[in-house]
Structure 1
Amino acid sequence: MSITYARLEWDDQGRPLSSTYNDVYFSSLSGLEETHYVFLQHNRLAERFARLQDGDCMVIGETGFGTGLNFLCTWQLFRQQAVHDARLHFISVEKFPLQPADLSRALALWPELDEPAQQLASVYRHLLDGVQSICLDNNRVQLSLLIGDAREQLARLDTRTRVNAWFLDGFAPAKNPDMWTDQLFTQLARLSAPDATLATFTSAGFVRRGLQNAGFTMQRNKGFGHKREMLSGWLK
């Protein structure tokens, strides 16, 4: 598999920026807090993880794996809230993955994630080498990383695995318009479980309308940090 890796610059705080999109990977205020607020809180994951029964599996879908921060925060919350025999399946798409060394460098910004970050680093190369799905945490957590265009990769998935919550991430619509399309929104709806939820950092009007046209009920929420608004929603 031929991979085009992310081209990065690093700011004076050691945070990665995309040279391709001229955009940040996470908020300059706190990437960790942004993930918790936008994706975990607005998909109500703490309470949903706590409701899981033995043998249940929660499926999270994400556009834009990036540094893996969202995955690690989700995994950490799952460990804290879910019963021992529940499972997490995290499916993420990434067009330009980070080099392994860059991924480790970025995640070193959060010492509180060091243990799961080391687990991720130990398998990340295998994911890049074409092993699309790998188990972690004594098989409680399954990470599926799909390398390529989000629309194309999601279109290849069948609906046997239904997504319960979506993290609509990636670079801002103004920077990466090729991803934020009606074709993508249609795939999100097609792959969603009944009552699936969705959250995204952007509040762009065309994103809200596109998701509504795909079947999601959308609402504006207070944004994180300097962002005035963000979007969250659920499948009708």
Structure 2
Amino acid sequence: MAKPTSPDLEWHENDMPFSPEFGDHFYSHADGRLECDYVFIQSNNILDRWTQKDQFAIGELGFGTGLNFLETWRQWREVRGEGQILQFISFELYPMTADQIERALQPWPMLADLRDIMLSHWDQIAVGHAVEIEPGIVLQLQIGDVTQTLPNWQGTADAWYLDGFAPAKNPAMWGEELMQALAAHTHPNGTFATYTAAGWVRRNLQAAGFEVIRKKGHAGKRQMMCGTLGGAQLND
């Protein structure tokens, strides 16, 4: 299997990776790890939902540095029960190299051990193989253009992390057809969360069948969105 193209990066203050192609940074200036916890883990109510299923699947649009996966894995280790399985499937066009990931994740030494375990399998992960990182946790990248890979994916997710570059920078990752495909690959009453509150993204999610709520964003950001597929209990 041919190795996918890695991204061209610029490195800004504190070694923060920046994509010249999309004109955006890979994580928040206000601590990307804490944003992951607030936006994706808490807003998908994942810690409570993990206890209800023997197998839980998280889908992600935009793997980037792997920060969301590593923080999710760190918290999973703290609460998982015997025999439980977490599958983490991330859709990524340009997987970083191991050296790029290591450099990008330097601000979070609490994730260094997990990062190193992940990178020890990186040759397989970066070309799209599903890898059991440790017993009970499986990581797979779906490599390629998400408008093609997501509709053709055979799986379904319990929760989604919508973490592509900002909608204004990368509109194809937030379009109506892709949100329809997202809903088609979501378990009944599955959820999503995203840092953005763009109105056209909200309308695309609603058109796909998600009930959407807007809530206070992370670290002073005015709003973000989360919601449930067909979840009538949520109000916009």
Q: For the superposition of Structure 1 and Structure 2, which TM-score range results when normalised by the shorter chain?
A: over 0.9
Letter in 1 for 2:179: F
The match for 2:14 is 13
Letter in 1 for 2:25: V
Q: Match for 1:202 among 167, 171, 196?
A: 196
Aligned-pair distance for 1:3? 2.2
Whole-angstrom CA distance in 1 between matches of 2:167 and 2:109: 31
The match for 1:233 is 227
Whole-angstrom CA distance in 2 between matches of 1:3 and 1:121: 16
Aligned-pair identity in percent equals 40
The match for 2:44 is 43
The match for 2:211 is 217
Secondary structure of 2:224's aligned partner: strand
Whole-angstrom CA distance in 1 between matches of 2:51 and 2:138: 18
The match for 1:87 is 85
Secondary structure of 1:202's aligned partner: coil
The match for 2:234 is none
The match for 2:153 is 157
CA-to-partner distance for each residue in 1:165-210, whole Å, 9 max, x for gaps? 0001110000111211111101111011111010000000010000
Structure 1: state its 5+ residue gaps: none
Aligned-pair distance for 1:2? 5.3
- Find out whether 1:148 has 2:165 as its counterpart: no
For 1:112-151, list aligned pairs within 5 A.
112-128=110-126, 130-138=127-135, 140-151=136-147
The match for 1:103 is 101
- Find out whether 1:191 has 2:185 as its counterpart: yes
Letter in 2 for 1:189: A
- Find out whether 1:182 has 2:176 as its counterpart: yes
Query: Is the contact made by 2:60 and 2:163 (CA closer than 8 Å) also made in structure 1?
Result: yes
Aligned-pair distance for 1:143? 0.6
Whole-angstrom CA distance in 1 between matches of 2:68 and 2:105: 11
Q: Match for 2:72 among 67, 71, 74?
A: 74
Query: Is the contact made by 2:61 and 2:164 (CA closer than 8 Å) also made in structure 1?
Result: yes
Structure 2: state its 5+ residue gaps: 231-236
Aligned-pair distance for 1:38? 0.2
Residues 1:113 and 1:2: Cα distance change in structure 2 (over 3 Å): closer
Residues 1:196 and 1:135: Cα distance change in structure 2 (over 3 Å): same
Query: Is the contact made by 1:201 and 1:230 (CA closer than 8 Å) also made in structure 2?
Result: yes
Whole-angstrom CA distance in 1 between matches of 2:52 and 2:139: 21
Letter in 2 for 1:164: D
Letter in 1 for 2:99: A
How many residue pairs get aligned? The number is 229
Query: Is the contact made by 1:58 and 1:89 (CA closer than 8 Å) also made in structure 2?
Result: yes
What is the RMSD computed on CA atoms of the aligned residues?
1.2
Whole-angstrom CA distance in 1 between matches of 2:62 and 2:20: 16
Letter in 1 for 2:208: A
Query: Is the contact made by 1:51 and 1:82 (CA closer than 8 Å) also made in structure 2?
Result: no
Whole-angstrom CA distance in 2 between matches of 1:144 and 1:72: 13
Taking structure 2 as the reference length, the TM-score comes to 0.93
Aligned-pair distance for 1:84? 2.4
